[in-house]
Each structure stands twice: as C-alpha cells, then as structure tokens.
Chains A and B, each alone.
Chain A
Amino acid sequence: MVAIQKLIDENGLRVDGRRLDELRPIKMEVGLLANADGSAYIEQGRNKIIVAVYGPKEAQPKHIGLHDRAVIRCRYHMAPFSTDERKSPAPSRREIEISKVIREALEPAIFSEYFPRSMVDIFIEVLQSDGGSRCAAITASSLALADAGIPLRDLVVACAVGKIEGKLAVDPSDIEDKLGEADMPVAFIPVLGKISLLQMDGMFTEEEFIEALNMAKNACMKIYELQKQTLKQRYLQIEKEIQETPVQKGEE
C-alpha cells in the first residue's frame, strides 16, 4: 500500500475523488434470504453487510420475555475475512458494544409494545468492512425490519461525519477514519425528527459539531430516499413484468 500523504488534494477532493459532502456509492437490496422473515443487503463504499431479521417469535428462553413489549436482540458480527488481517470470529468488545448501540438506535422506531412476551432477532453480518460499518448496518437493519413486516414508526437511517485535515467530510471511509482527526456516527429517524445514535471519536469545536450534525442529517435524508426506493423496487418489478405480458383470454 502506498502511504497517503494528503487526504484532501489541491482541488478539494478526497482520496477516493469525492467532494467533502459526497456519499460513497450505495447499493441496497431486500428480501434476499429465504429462511429469514426479513433480510437486507447493503454495499456502501467497500462495506458489504447482510442483515437477517427473525420474528416477532415466541421469546426463547421464556424468562427473557417482557410482559409489556417485545424483546429486541441484536448481534453485530464481523466475518473473519472482513478485514485486512484475519479477525477472530469470537465476538470482541467492540462488536458487543456496537450490537448494543445498534439495538438502541433501532428500538425507538419499532412498535415493540404490539408484541408483548415475544422477541425480534436482528443478525448483522459484516462481510467486508470499510469505515462507517455501524451506520451502514443500521440503515440495512431498518430495511430488514420493514421487509419482515414488523411495524415501524419510520425507517432508521445512519451516516457518519468526519474531520479530515481540519475539514468536515461526510461518510468517511476506513482510511479517512483512521488518519482523520474525528469521526461522528449519527442515526436519524426522519419522521420523528429524532437522533437515536450519536457517538464521537476525536474532537470537534462547538461550531464544527453543529455543522457536522447538519451535514449528517442531510446525508441521512439522501440515504433515506434510497431506502424507500429499495423497499418498493422488488414489488414494482413484479408489477411491471405482469403488465408487460398480455392477458390471454381463456382458450375454450
């Protein structure tokens, strides 16, 4: 690997040629797993993440069930081949923590009170990691929840904002995250106007923080539109195919 000297070039472009407020290319898909109740796949830059949702189902073991709402369980896991060096498949401290913050980012959007004594399982598998995998995982998880038909107040969407060479940049990649000065993942629930995840690594001034939050919200709204399109895509595709085949009248 060539050592990178500058993260932003003289034209104001980043190492991968993006502008400061530009997202990495995003590809999403839903309903790709037959055995799960809901599933989603996301590619955001070099991130490749697959999410499966099961439930609501009977709480198992029974004592974890709550009498007033469903239990949400979340597992964020990185595949051993998802990083440069082999990663141990055992859940690390980082993964356990991310599982918890993702669960807490999604919970306010789920009508869990509709299914007391039951549980919902969310399995997130990172196949290939780049920077901002927790944000991409949240975006994909809410798609998988919607695909499973679990009632939601809104889709949850997440995006990070970083500080690289003193400038704020949206959706930092792995290298920008590592060499940059700060990184702030934000999860946003647009309809409720609420932020359900806000973490920060590094330092921002107060002005920078406010600016970064606005940048994150704007980026989230772009991803939010993509999410909605992705959910509808499959059904509109079937509809198109049917309307293109002419209806033959009975052959009697």
Chain B
Amino acid sequence: MRMFERRQLVTPGDLLAEGDYIAGENTYKEGNRIYSQKLGLVDFDDKKVFVVPLRGRYIPKVGDIVVGQVTDVSLNGWSVDINSPYKAVLSVPDVTGKSFSPKLDSLTKILGVGEVVVGKITAFDRTRDPTLTIKGAGLGKVGDGLIVNLTPTKVPRLIGRKGSMINILKRETGCEIIVGQNGRILIRGRDSKKVELVVEAIRMIEEQAHISGLTDRIKNFLKTGKGD
C-alpha cells in the first residue's frame, strides 16, 4: 500500500509504503514497511520506492563527470577537491598519458594548486579515495569560464529528462555548459549577458527543483530574458 502520491514532499521517517515493495535510493526497509531517509520528493517505479532528495552532499560515483580544483601536489600526482566528503586523487598517467620521471618533469608545471579541471571518476568504493582521470573527450584543464555552484542533489533536474533542460539552456543562450555531477557547473560564453542569464536560470532551478512544470518556466524565463 502506498502512503503518498508520486512527487509528494516527504521528510525523514515518513512511512512511504507498506507491503511488497523494494526500497530504492534514500529509503530503508523495516520489516515490510519502507521509510524515507531524507527530505525530498517520493516516487514509485513499479514496486520500487525511492526519494529524490532536496539537499545533500555529493558522493562520488564511477563514471561521473565532475568539476574539481587542485588543492595539493604530491610526489606522484595531485589532490583534487570535488566538493564531496572525499578528495579525489589524480595520478600523472591520467593527466599526461605517459609515465613520468621526477628528473625530467615538474608536476607543478603541468597542474598547479588552484587550477580547475573537468574530470571523470574512474574508481571509488568508500574504502579509498576516488581516483580521477582528465584524459578523454571533453575532459582536461580549464582555462576560462565561470563556475556556479548548485546543490548536488539538484543536478539531475538541471539536466532534465534525457537532457531536455540543459539542451534548452544551451540552445537558447548559445553558451557552452559543462555540468559536474558534484554540483559545479562551468559556463563559457562570449556574451556576458547570456552567461548571466544561464546563472539566473540555474538559481531558478535551485529554488524550484521540487515543483513540476519547471522546464516550461525556464523556457519562458529565457524567452523573456533574451528580449531586454
């Protein structure tokens, strides 16, 4: 038996469903009752019950694209802050593609503290810090652009179903937008007005992520915003 409608607001400890259900993300099972772990919107997928959280930290997942900042240079690689409880480790072959000799290369020349990278998580299991690579299409060191922070749990909303939301933003403003799953969004565009428009749209998504019809409101906002 379902205790809530789809997309209703729930709090930790709310009884979501009772009976033959499977506990999905951000829920837990006690006997045959499923409870919420977080403040968020409940959803059902056949027998699976899950909660889309409204707030929370980013937990790394293998394959995620993240925007990170180098915080430390060590003997064989870099530490990267990826806005999560765990700092990412970036080793030399994942940057240059070749092994490195401390005699010939200087790590700080390749990447210094404070530099921003777009990377991909290659391994993580919570017993060790996540490893990162910046080799691959769309990855690498970032030279220019603007970084905006978004609550990491709201990143899926910014992307939209099959990229619907992010594609609207890109199409309407002509800006290049790289979305890090860790809630850091890199925006590049020639027209600073357009970049501002994207930032405002992201703020809107942040605030209204829990209310349906958001894509239409963003569409409207971009159309009216472009006029002036």
Contacts and interface: CB of A to CB of B under 8 A. Distances in A.
Interface in A193-252: 227-228, 231-232, 235-236, 238-239, 242-243, 247-252
A58 B86 contact: yes
B28 A153 contact: yes
Interface in B182-228: 207-208, 210-211, 213, 216-217, 219-220, 223-224, 227
B46 interface: no
A228 B223 CA distance: 38
B211 A155 contact: no
Contacts of B224: 248, 250-251
Given A228-B14, A239-B211, A250-B219, A151 B37 contact: yes
Of the four ranges (under 10, 10 to 19, 20 to 34, 35 or more), the interface on chain B belongs to: 35 or more
Nearest to A245: B217
Contacts of B38: 146, 149, 151-152
Contacts of B30: 191-192
Select the residue from A58, A227, A243 with max chain B CB neighbours within 10 A: A58
Interface stretch (A3-11, A90-98, A113-121, A130-138): A113-121
B195 to A, nearest CB: 22
A19 interface: no
Contact of A152 (B13, B54, B57, B59): B13
A150 B12 CA distance: 9
A180 interface: no
Contacts of A190: 13
A172 interface: no
Nearest to B207: A238
B159 interface: no
A67 interface: yes
B220 A235 contact: no
A50 interface: no
Contacts of B217: 242, 247
Interface string B32-44: 0001011100000
A185 interface: no
Interface of B: 9, 11-15, 26, 28, 30, 35, 37-39, 53-57, 59, 85-87, 126-127, 153, 207-208, 210-211, 213, 216-217, 219-220, 223-224, 227
28 contacts: A56-B85, A67-B127, A111-B28, A117-B126, A118-B86, A146-B39, A147-B39, A149-B39, A149-B56, A149-B153, A150-B56, A152-B13, A153-B13, A154-B12, A154-B35, A155-B11, A191-B13, A227-B11, A228-B11, A228-B14, A232-B39, A238-B207, A247-B213, A247-B220, A248-B224, A249-B220, A250-B223, A252-B223
Given A117-B126, A149-B54, A151-B38, 12 more contacts: A38-B55, A70-B85, A115-B85, A117-B86, A118-B86, A154-B12, A192-B30, A228-B14, A238-B208, A238-B210, A250-B219, A250-B223
